[in-house]
Structure 1
Amino acid sequence: MSETPVLDSAAVRWSAPPAERAGRPLLVLMHGYGSDENDLFALAPHLPAEYVVAAVRAPLSPPFPTPGWSWYPIEGLHGRDPDIATASARALVTWIDGVRADAASVGVLGFSQGGVMAIEALRLAPDAFSFAVSLAGYANPHPLPGDAALAERRPPVFWGRGALDDVIPAPLVAHTVQWLPGHVELSGRVYPGLAHAVSADELSDVSTFLRKQLPEA
Protein backbone atom coordinates (compact mmCIF):
# COMPACT_ATOMS: atom_id res chain seq x y z
CA MET A 1 0.00 0.00 0.00
CA SER A 2 3.01 2.31 0.43
CA GLU A 3 3.98 2.25 -3.27
CA THR A 4 2.96 5.24 -5.35
CA PRO A 5 0.42 4.15 -8.01
CA VAL A 6 1.35 4.69 -11.65
CA LEU A 7 -0.92 4.30 -14.65
CA ASP A 8 0.28 2.04 -17.46
CA SER A 9 0.28 4.11 -20.65
CA ALA A 10 0.54 0.93 -22.71
CA ALA A 11 -2.82 -0.23 -21.32
CA VAL A 12 -4.84 2.76 -22.53
CA ARG A 13 -7.54 2.33 -25.20
CA TRP A 14 -7.82 5.34 -27.52
CA SER A 15 -10.70 6.10 -29.89
CA ALA A 16 -8.42 7.99 -32.28
CA PRO A 17 -4.75 7.72 -33.34
CA PRO A 18 -2.34 10.49 -32.31
CA ALA A 19 -2.64 12.28 -35.63
CA GLU A 20 -6.41 12.73 -35.12
CA ARG A 21 -6.40 14.04 -31.52
CA ALA A 22 -5.04 17.58 -31.84
CA GLY A 23 -7.42 20.33 -30.81
CA ARG A 24 -10.29 17.99 -29.96
CA PRO A 25 -11.91 17.61 -26.51
CA LEU A 26 -10.53 14.70 -24.48
CA LEU A 27 -12.74 12.40 -22.40
CA VAL A 28 -10.96 10.02 -19.99
CA LEU A 29 -12.86 6.91 -18.87
CA MET A 30 -12.21 5.01 -15.61
CA HIS A 31 -13.58 1.53 -14.97
CA GLY A 32 -14.81 -0.03 -11.74
CA TYR A 33 -13.40 -2.60 -9.32
CA GLY A 34 -12.17 -5.85 -10.88
CA SER A 35 -12.50 -4.62 -14.45
CA ASP A 36 -10.11 -3.11 -17.00
CA GLU A 37 -9.76 -0.49 -19.72
CA ASN A 38 -11.88 -2.48 -22.18
CA ASP A 39 -15.02 -2.19 -20.06
CA LEU A 40 -16.02 1.47 -20.42
CA PHE A 41 -14.32 1.74 -23.80
CA ALA A 42 -17.32 -0.21 -25.10
CA LEU A 43 -19.37 2.92 -24.40
CA ALA A 44 -17.33 5.05 -26.82
CA PRO A 45 -19.57 4.46 -29.89
CA HIS A 46 -22.55 5.72 -27.86
CA LEU A 47 -20.88 8.99 -26.83
CA PRO A 48 -20.57 12.19 -28.90
CA ALA A 49 -18.09 11.57 -31.70
CA GLU A 50 -16.42 14.97 -31.19
CA TYR A 51 -14.58 13.60 -28.14
CA VAL A 52 -11.31 11.74 -28.24
CA VAL A 53 -11.91 8.93 -25.75
CA ALA A 54 -9.13 7.42 -23.65
CA ALA A 55 -10.01 4.47 -21.41
CA VAL A 56 -7.35 3.88 -18.76
CA ARG A 57 -6.51 0.89 -16.57
CA ALA A 58 -6.52 1.28 -12.78
CA PRO A 59 -3.06 0.86 -11.19
CA LEU A 60 -3.78 -1.72 -8.45
CA SER A 61 -4.45 -5.47 -8.53
CA PRO A 62 -7.29 -6.84 -6.35
CA PRO A 63 -6.46 -9.86 -4.19
CA PHE A 64 -6.77 -13.32 -5.74
CA PRO A 65 -9.09 -14.62 -7.14
CA THR A 66 -10.66 -11.28 -8.15
CA PRO A 67 -9.76 -10.53 -11.79
CA GLY A 68 -8.93 -7.19 -13.33
CA TRP A 69 -7.73 -4.02 -11.64
CA SER A 70 -8.78 -1.55 -8.96
CA TRP A 71 -8.27 2.06 -7.88
CA TYR A 72 -8.33 1.22 -4.16
CA PRO A 73 -9.06 -1.83 -1.98
CA ILE A 74 -12.58 -2.55 -0.81
CA GLU A 75 -11.62 -5.35 1.56
CA GLY A 76 -9.47 -5.81 4.67
CA LEU A 77 -7.90 -3.13 6.86
CA HIS A 78 -7.46 -0.78 3.91
CA GLY A 79 -10.98 -1.17 2.55
CA ARG A 80 -12.23 2.12 1.02
CA ASP A 81 -9.22 3.97 2.44
CA PRO A 82 -9.66 7.53 1.08
CA ASP A 83 -5.90 8.14 1.16
CA ILE A 84 -5.33 5.25 -1.25
CA ALA A 85 -8.12 6.54 -3.48
CA THR A 86 -6.48 9.97 -3.47
CA ALA A 87 -3.10 8.46 -4.38
CA SER A 88 -4.64 6.71 -7.37
CA ALA A 89 -6.44 9.91 -8.37
CA ARG A 90 -3.12 11.78 -8.25
CA ALA A 91 -1.65 9.15 -10.58
CA LEU A 92 -4.61 9.69 -12.89
CA VAL A 93 -4.18 13.48 -12.90
CA THR A 94 -0.44 13.08 -13.56
CA TRP A 95 -1.10 10.79 -16.53
CA ILE A 96 -3.71 13.17 -17.96
CA ASP A 97 -1.31 16.10 -17.60
CA GLY A 98 1.17 14.16 -19.72
CA VAL A 99 -1.23 13.44 -22.59
CA ARG A 100 -3.63 16.39 -22.72
CA ALA A 101 -1.36 18.44 -25.02
CA ASP A 102 -3.55 20.93 -26.91
CA ALA A 103 -6.89 19.27 -26.15
CA ALA A 104 -9.77 21.72 -26.50
CA SER A 105 -11.03 20.56 -23.08
CA VAL A 106 -10.61 17.62 -20.72
CA GLY A 107 -13.39 15.77 -18.93
CA VAL A 108 -13.46 12.62 -16.80
CA LEU A 109 -16.08 9.88 -16.65
CA GLY A 110 -16.06 6.85 -14.40
CA PHE A 111 -18.22 4.01 -13.13
CA SER A 112 -18.25 2.85 -9.48
CA GLN A 113 -14.63 3.19 -8.28
CA GLY A 114 -13.98 5.05 -11.52
CA GLY A 115 -16.80 7.40 -10.59
CA VAL A 116 -15.04 8.08 -7.30
CA MET A 117 -11.87 8.82 -9.30
CA ALA A 118 -13.74 11.30 -11.49
CA ILE A 119 -14.83 13.34 -8.47
CA GLU A 120 -11.49 12.90 -6.69
CA ALA A 121 -9.54 14.12 -9.73
CA LEU A 122 -11.80 17.16 -9.98
CA ARG A 123 -11.10 17.93 -6.33
CA LEU A 124 -7.34 17.54 -6.73
CA ALA A 125 -7.11 19.73 -9.84
CA PRO A 126 -10.22 21.93 -10.15
CA ASP A 127 -8.75 24.00 -12.96
CA ALA A 128 -7.59 21.00 -15.01
CA PHE A 129 -11.00 19.61 -15.94
CA SER A 130 -14.02 21.09 -17.65
CA PHE A 131 -16.49 18.58 -16.17
CA ALA A 132 -16.91 15.17 -14.57
CA VAL A 133 -19.36 12.28 -14.85
CA SER A 134 -19.71 9.89 -11.91
CA LEU A 135 -21.86 6.81 -12.46
CA ALA A 136 -22.61 4.78 -9.32
CA GLY A 137 -19.75 6.60 -7.57
CA TYR A 138 -19.47 8.90 -4.57
CA ALA A 139 -17.45 11.72 -3.04
CA ASN A 140 -14.97 10.61 -0.41
CA PRO A 141 -15.77 12.14 3.01
CA HIS A 142 -12.36 13.69 3.60
CA PRO A 143 -11.14 17.22 2.86
CA LEU A 144 -8.78 17.89 -0.03
CA PRO A 145 -6.78 21.06 -0.71
CA GLY A 146 -8.69 21.84 -3.90
CA ASP A 147 -12.17 21.74 -2.35
CA ALA A 148 -12.43 25.49 -1.76
CA ALA A 149 -11.31 26.29 -5.32
CA LEU A 150 -13.75 23.68 -6.63
CA ALA A 151 -16.64 25.27 -4.72
CA GLU A 152 -15.71 28.65 -6.23
CA ARG A 153 -15.36 27.35 -9.78
CA ARG A 154 -18.38 24.98 -9.67
CA PRO A 155 -17.77 22.92 -12.82
CA PRO A 156 -20.61 20.82 -14.25
CA VAL A 157 -20.92 17.30 -12.81
CA PHE A 158 -23.34 14.54 -13.77
CA TRP A 159 -23.98 12.05 -10.96
CA GLY A 160 -26.17 9.08 -11.82
CA ARG A 161 -27.03 6.08 -9.65
CA GLY A 162 -29.52 3.25 -9.46
CA ALA A 163 -32.32 3.28 -6.91
CA LEU A 164 -31.57 -0.41 -6.21
CA ASP A 165 -27.79 0.00 -5.95
CA ASP A 166 -26.75 -1.68 -2.69
CA VAL A 167 -23.02 -1.83 -3.53
CA ILE A 168 -22.19 1.72 -2.44
CA PRO A 169 -22.73 2.09 1.34
CA ALA A 170 -25.70 4.30 2.21
CA PRO A 171 -23.63 6.71 4.39
CA LEU A 172 -21.37 7.47 1.39
CA VAL A 173 -24.39 8.13 -0.82
CA ALA A 174 -25.89 10.39 1.86
CA HIS A 175 -22.61 12.31 2.17
CA THR A 176 -22.41 12.77 -1.60
CA VAL A 177 -25.99 14.02 -1.77
CA GLN A 178 -25.03 16.78 0.67
CA TRP A 179 -21.50 17.48 -0.58
CA LEU A 180 -21.83 17.78 -4.35
CA PRO A 181 -24.35 20.66 -4.53
CA GLY A 182 -22.04 22.83 -2.44
CA HIS A 183 -19.04 22.30 -4.72
CA VAL A 184 -20.23 21.74 -8.31
CA GLU A 185 -23.01 22.57 -10.73
CA LEU A 186 -24.82 19.28 -10.25
CA SER A 187 -26.96 17.35 -12.70
CA GLY A 188 -28.13 14.30 -10.78
CA ARG A 189 -30.57 11.51 -11.45
CA VAL A 190 -31.64 8.35 -9.61
CA TYR A 191 -32.85 5.61 -11.97
CA PRO A 192 -35.77 3.47 -10.71
CA GLY A 193 -35.20 -0.27 -11.05
CA LEU A 194 -31.47 0.12 -11.68
CA ALA A 195 -28.92 -1.65 -9.48
CA HIS A 196 -25.12 -1.23 -9.66
CA ALA A 197 -24.99 -0.82 -13.42
CA VAL A 198 -25.49 1.62 -16.30
CA SER A 199 -28.84 1.61 -18.10
CA ALA A 200 -29.77 2.75 -21.61
CA ASP A 201 -31.66 5.71 -20.11
CA GLU A 202 -28.62 6.73 -18.10
CA LEU A 203 -26.31 6.41 -21.10
CA SER A 204 -28.67 8.64 -23.08
CA ASP A 205 -28.60 11.24 -20.30
CA VAL A 206 -24.81 11.07 -20.17
CA SER A 207 -24.57 11.60 -23.92
CA THR A 208 -26.84 14.65 -23.65
CA PHE A 209 -24.74 16.02 -20.79
CA LEU A 210 -21.53 15.50 -22.78
CA ARG A 211 -22.91 17.31 -25.79
CA LYS A 212 -23.66 20.31 -23.59
CA GLN A 213 -20.02 20.35 -22.45
CA LEU A 214 -18.51 20.46 -25.94
CA PRO A 215 -16.37 23.56 -26.46
CA GLU A 216 -17.91 26.14 -28.76
CA ALA A 217 -16.51 26.07 -32.27
Structure 2
Amino acid sequence: MVQIDPSLIQWSVDESERDGRPLLVLLHGVGSHEGDLIGLAPYLPQAFAIASLRAPLGHGDGFSWYPLTTPGSPDPEPVDEAAAAVLAWLDTLGDTHPSISLLGFSQGGSLSLQLLRHAPERFTFAAVLAGFVVPDPAAEQRDAELARVRPAVFYGRGDADQVIPIDAVTRTTEWLGEHADAELAIYPGLAHGVSQDELDDLNAFISRVTNPVTADSTQAPDSTDVVL
Protein backbone atom coordinates (compact mmCIF):
# COMPACT_ATOMS: atom_id res chain seq x y z
CA MET A 1 0.00 0.00 0.00
CA VAL A 2 1.39 3.41 -0.96
CA GLN A 3 0.93 6.47 1.21
CA ILE A 4 1.35 10.23 1.06
CA ASP A 5 3.96 11.54 3.51
CA PRO A 6 2.44 14.74 4.93
CA SER A 7 5.83 15.91 6.20
CA LEU A 8 7.06 16.22 2.59
CA ILE A 9 4.17 18.33 1.31
CA GLN A 10 5.09 21.86 0.24
CA TRP A 11 2.42 24.45 1.01
CA SER A 12 1.91 27.91 -0.41
CA VAL A 13 0.87 29.29 3.00
CA ASP A 14 1.69 28.58 6.61
CA GLU A 15 -0.51 26.19 8.59
CA SER A 16 -2.04 29.08 10.52
CA GLU A 17 -3.36 30.53 7.25
CA ARG A 18 -4.94 27.39 5.75
CA ASP A 19 -8.16 26.99 7.72
CA GLY A 20 -11.18 28.11 5.71
CA ARG A 21 -9.34 28.47 2.40
CA PRO A 22 -10.22 26.38 -0.65
CA LEU A 23 -7.54 23.75 -1.25
CA LEU A 24 -5.71 23.18 -4.53
CA VAL A 25 -3.71 19.93 -4.65
CA LEU A 26 -0.74 19.79 -7.05
CA LEU A 27 0.34 16.42 -8.48
CA HIS A 28 3.71 16.44 -10.26
CA GLY A 29 4.90 14.39 -13.22
CA VAL A 30 7.03 11.26 -13.24
CA GLY A 31 10.66 11.81 -12.24
CA SER A 32 9.80 15.09 -10.54
CA HIS A 33 9.02 16.05 -6.94
CA GLU A 34 6.91 18.25 -4.69
CA GLY A 35 9.21 21.24 -5.21
CA ASP A 36 8.41 21.48 -8.91
CA LEU A 37 4.79 22.54 -9.36
CA ILE A 38 4.78 24.62 -6.18
CA GLY A 39 6.69 27.13 -8.30
CA LEU A 40 3.38 27.87 -10.01
CA ALA A 41 1.79 29.02 -6.73
CA PRO A 42 2.53 32.76 -7.18
CA TYR A 43 0.77 32.67 -10.56
CA LEU A 44 -2.38 30.89 -9.38
CA PRO A 45 -5.34 32.40 -7.49
CA GLN A 46 -4.13 33.58 -4.11
CA ALA A 47 -7.38 32.63 -2.38
CA PHE A 48 -6.24 29.00 -2.43
CA ALA A 49 -4.14 27.13 0.06
CA ILE A 50 -1.97 25.17 -2.36
CA ALA A 51 -0.44 21.82 -1.39
CA SER A 52 2.18 20.17 -3.60
CA LEU A 53 2.42 16.44 -2.86
CA ARG A 54 5.35 14.08 -3.37
CA ALA A 55 4.54 10.87 -5.23
CA PRO A 56 5.23 7.72 -3.15
CA LEU A 57 7.46 5.76 -5.55
CA GLY A 58 11.07 6.50 -6.41
CA HIS A 59 11.92 7.11 -10.06
CA GLY A 60 15.46 8.13 -11.00
CA ASP A 61 16.32 11.32 -9.14
CA GLY A 62 12.62 11.98 -8.51
CA PHE A 63 9.36 10.18 -7.86
CA SER A 64 6.34 8.69 -9.61
CA TRP A 65 2.73 7.99 -8.73
CA TYR A 66 2.76 4.57 -10.36
CA PRO A 67 5.20 2.45 -12.41
CA LEU A 68 5.77 3.31 -16.04
CA THR A 69 4.58 0.69 -18.51
CA THR A 70 3.16 1.42 -21.97
CA PRO A 71 3.35 5.21 -22.50
CA GLY A 72 -0.10 6.71 -22.02
CA SER A 73 -1.62 3.33 -21.09
CA PRO A 74 -0.47 2.27 -17.60
CA ASP A 75 -1.84 -0.62 -15.61
CA PRO A 76 -4.85 0.93 -13.82
CA GLU A 77 -4.39 -0.98 -10.55
CA PRO A 78 -1.38 1.01 -9.26
CA VAL A 79 -3.06 4.21 -10.47
CA ASP A 80 -6.02 3.31 -8.27
CA GLU A 81 -3.63 2.69 -5.37
CA ALA A 82 -2.11 6.15 -5.81
CA ALA A 83 -5.59 7.69 -5.96
CA ALA A 84 -6.56 5.88 -2.76
CA ALA A 85 -3.43 7.27 -1.07
CA VAL A 86 -4.33 10.84 -2.02
CA LEU A 87 -7.92 10.38 -0.87
CA ALA A 88 -6.71 8.91 2.45
CA TRP A 89 -4.52 11.96 3.00
CA LEU A 90 -7.41 14.29 2.17
CA ASP A 91 -9.51 12.46 4.77
CA THR A 92 -7.00 13.51 7.45
CA LEU A 93 -7.73 17.18 6.76
CA GLY A 94 -11.30 16.95 8.03
CA ASP A 95 -13.35 20.07 7.25
CA THR A 96 -10.39 22.48 7.17
CA HIS A 97 -11.10 23.47 3.56
CA PRO A 98 -14.52 24.38 2.11
CA SER A 99 -13.58 22.90 -1.27
CA ILE A 100 -10.86 20.80 -2.89
CA SER A 101 -9.54 20.98 -6.46
CA LEU A 102 -6.76 19.25 -8.40
CA LEU A 103 -3.97 20.33 -10.72
CA GLY A 104 -1.82 17.62 -12.24
CA PHE A 105 0.97 17.64 -14.80
CA SER A 106 1.60 14.64 -17.11
CA GLN A 107 1.42 11.54 -14.89
CA GLY A 108 -0.06 13.74 -12.17
CA GLY A 109 -2.73 14.77 -14.66
CA SER A 110 -3.68 11.14 -15.25
CA LEU A 111 -3.93 10.70 -11.48
CA SER A 112 -6.18 13.77 -11.26
CA LEU A 113 -8.67 12.18 -13.66
CA GLN A 114 -8.48 8.87 -11.80
CA LEU A 115 -9.30 10.75 -8.60
CA LEU A 116 -12.38 12.18 -10.30
CA ARG A 117 -13.41 8.62 -11.14
CA HIS A 118 -13.13 7.61 -7.49
CA ALA A 119 -14.76 10.70 -5.98
CA PRO A 120 -16.49 12.82 -8.65
CA GLU A 121 -18.40 14.99 -6.21
CA ARG A 122 -15.44 15.64 -3.93
CA PHE A 123 -13.58 18.04 -6.23
CA THR A 124 -14.60 21.45 -7.53
CA PHE A 125 -12.42 21.08 -10.62
CA ALA A 126 -9.42 19.29 -12.05
CA ALA A 127 -6.76 20.92 -14.23
CA VAL A 128 -4.88 18.44 -16.40
CA LEU A 129 -1.75 19.82 -18.03
CA ALA A 130 -0.09 17.58 -20.65
CA GLY A 131 -1.82 14.55 -19.15
CA PHE A 132 -4.21 11.79 -20.19
CA VAL A 133 -6.95 9.50 -18.93
CA VAL A 134 -5.94 5.96 -17.98
CA PRO A 135 -7.70 3.23 -20.01
CA ASP A 136 -9.59 1.34 -17.31
CA PRO A 137 -12.28 -1.18 -18.34
CA ALA A 138 -13.07 -1.82 -14.66
CA ALA A 139 -14.09 1.82 -14.22
CA GLU A 140 -17.31 1.51 -16.21
CA GLN A 141 -19.58 1.98 -13.19
CA ARG A 142 -17.46 4.82 -11.80
CA ASP A 143 -17.41 6.47 -15.22
CA ALA A 144 -21.20 6.31 -15.37
CA GLU A 145 -21.39 8.18 -12.06
CA LEU A 146 -18.78 10.65 -13.28
CA ALA A 147 -20.82 11.31 -16.41
CA ARG A 148 -23.82 12.07 -14.20
CA VAL A 149 -21.85 14.60 -12.13
CA ARG A 150 -19.81 16.05 -15.04
CA PRO A 151 -17.16 17.88 -12.98
CA ALA A 152 -15.32 20.86 -14.42
CA VAL A 153 -12.02 19.96 -16.11
CA PHE A 154 -9.38 22.09 -17.82
CA TYR A 155 -7.29 20.06 -20.29
CA GLY A 156 -4.32 21.91 -21.72
CA ARG A 157 -1.53 20.53 -23.90
CA GLY A 158 1.04 21.63 -26.44
CA ASP A 159 0.82 20.54 -30.06
CA ALA A 160 4.59 19.87 -30.02
CA ASP A 161 4.39 17.46 -27.05
CA GLN A 162 6.41 14.35 -27.96
CA VAL A 163 5.88 12.63 -24.59
CA ILE A 164 2.15 11.89 -24.47
CA PRO A 165 1.20 9.53 -27.36
CA ILE A 166 -1.41 10.85 -29.76
CA ASP A 167 -3.69 7.88 -29.12
CA ALA A 168 -3.72 8.81 -25.42
CA VAL A 169 -4.57 12.40 -26.34
CA THR A 170 -7.41 11.25 -28.60
CA ARG A 171 -8.72 8.90 -25.92
CA THR A 172 -8.64 11.67 -23.32
CA THR A 173 -10.39 14.22 -25.52
CA GLU A 174 -13.20 11.79 -26.33
CA TRP A 175 -13.50 10.60 -22.72
CA LEU A 176 -13.71 14.13 -21.36
CA GLY A 177 -16.47 14.96 -23.81
CA GLU A 178 -18.50 12.07 -22.42
CA HIS A 179 -17.76 12.44 -18.71
CA ALA A 180 -16.94 16.04 -17.78
CA ASP A 181 -17.73 19.67 -18.36
CA ALA A 182 -14.38 20.14 -20.05
CA GLU A 183 -12.48 23.08 -21.48
CA LEU A 184 -9.82 21.94 -23.94
CA ALA A 185 -6.93 24.15 -25.02
CA ILE A 186 -4.07 23.43 -27.45
CA TYR A 187 -0.96 25.62 -27.51
CA PRO A 188 0.98 25.90 -30.79
CA GLY A 189 4.69 25.15 -30.48
CA LEU A 190 4.47 24.11 -26.81
CA ALA A 191 6.29 20.89 -25.98
CA HIS A 192 5.89 18.94 -22.72
CA GLY A 193 5.62 21.92 -20.41
CA VAL A 194 3.48 24.86 -19.32
CA SER A 195 3.34 28.28 -20.99
CA GLN A 196 2.17 31.74 -19.97
CA ASP A 197 -0.84 31.47 -22.29
CA GLU A 198 -1.83 28.21 -20.62
CA LEU A 199 -1.53 29.71 -17.15
CA ASP A 200 -3.62 32.68 -18.24
CA ASP A 201 -6.31 30.37 -19.63
CA LEU A 202 -6.17 28.20 -16.51
CA ASN A 203 -6.67 31.20 -14.24
CA ALA A 204 -9.63 32.33 -16.34
CA PHE A 205 -11.11 28.83 -16.11
CA ILE A 206 -10.64 28.74 -12.33
CA SER A 207 -12.29 32.13 -12.01
CA ARG A 208 -15.33 30.92 -13.93
CA VAL A 209 -15.83 27.62 -12.12
CA THR A 210 -15.09 28.84 -8.59
CA ASN A 211 -16.97 32.14 -8.58
CA PRO A 212 -16.86 34.07 -6.24
CA VAL A 213 -13.27 32.81 -5.84
CA THR A 214 -11.56 34.76 -8.59
CA ALA A 215 -8.19 34.43 -10.29
CA ASP A 216 -5.46 36.74 -9.14
CA SER A 217 -4.33 39.36 -11.64
CA THR A 218 -0.61 38.64 -11.13
CA GLN A 219 1.11 38.37 -14.51
CA ALA A 220 2.55 34.95 -15.20
CA PRO A 221 6.15 34.61 -16.43
CA ASP A 222 6.91 34.33 -20.15
CA SER A 223 7.39 30.58 -19.74
CA THR A 224 7.42 28.03 -16.97
CA ASP A 225 9.57 24.91 -17.21
CA VAL A 226 7.98 21.87 -15.60
CA VAL A 227 9.83 18.60 -15.21
CA LEU A 228 8.02 15.54 -16.61
TM-score normalized with structure 1 length: 0.91
Q: Distance in 2 between matches of 1:25 and 1:192?
A: 32
Matches within 5 A, 1:152-163: 152-163=148-159
In structure 2, what residue type is equivalent to 1:22? D
Match of 1:190 among 186, 192, 210: 186
Contact 2:129 2:157 in 1 (8 A): yes
Matches within 5 A, 1:131-150: 131-143=125-137, 144=139, 145-150=141-146
Match of 2:5 among 2, 8, 13: 8
**CA shift digits 1:33-72 (9 cap, x unpaired):** 111000000000000100110000001112xxx2110011
In structure 2, what residue type is equivalent to 1:23? G
Say which SS state the counterpart of residue 69 (structure 1) adopts: strand
Inter-CA distance 213–98: structure 2 relative to 1 (3 Å threshold): farther
Contact 1:105 1:215 in 2 (8 A): no
Aligned position for 1:89: 83
Matches within 5 A, 1:30-45: 30-45=27-42
Q: Distance in 2 between matches of 1:215 and 1:25?
A: 12
Aligned position for 2:164: 168
Asked if 1:206 corresponds to 2:202, the answer is: yes
Q: Distance in 2 between matches of 1:185 and 1:95?
A: 26
Match of 1:122 among 116, 125, 128: 116
Residue 89 (structure 1) shift: 1.3
Q: Distance in 2 between matches of 1:11 and 1:18?
A: 14
Aligned position for 1:19: 16
Which ranges of structure 1 fall in alignment gaps of 5 or more residues?
A: none
Query: Percent of pairs identical after alignment?
Result: 44
Q: Extract structure 1 runs of 4+ deviating beyond 6 A.
A: none
Residue 215 (structure 1) shift: 5.0
**CA shift digits 1:188-207 (9 cap, x unpaired):** 01111011111111111111
TM-score normalized with structure 2 length: 0.87
Contact 2:76 2:134 in 1 (8 A): yes
Residue 135 (structure 1) shift: 0.3
Residue 116 (structure 1) shift: 0.6
Which ranges of structure 2 fall in alignment gaps of 5 or more residues?
A: 214-228
Q: Distance in 2 between matches of 1:75 and 1:81?
A: 7
Asked if 1:58 corresponds to 2:52, the answer is: no
- Number of matched pairs: 209
Q: Distance in 2 between matches of 1:100 and 1:186?
A: 28
Q: Distance in 2 between matches of 1:84 and 1:95?
A: 17
In structure 2, what residue type is equivalent to 1:193? G
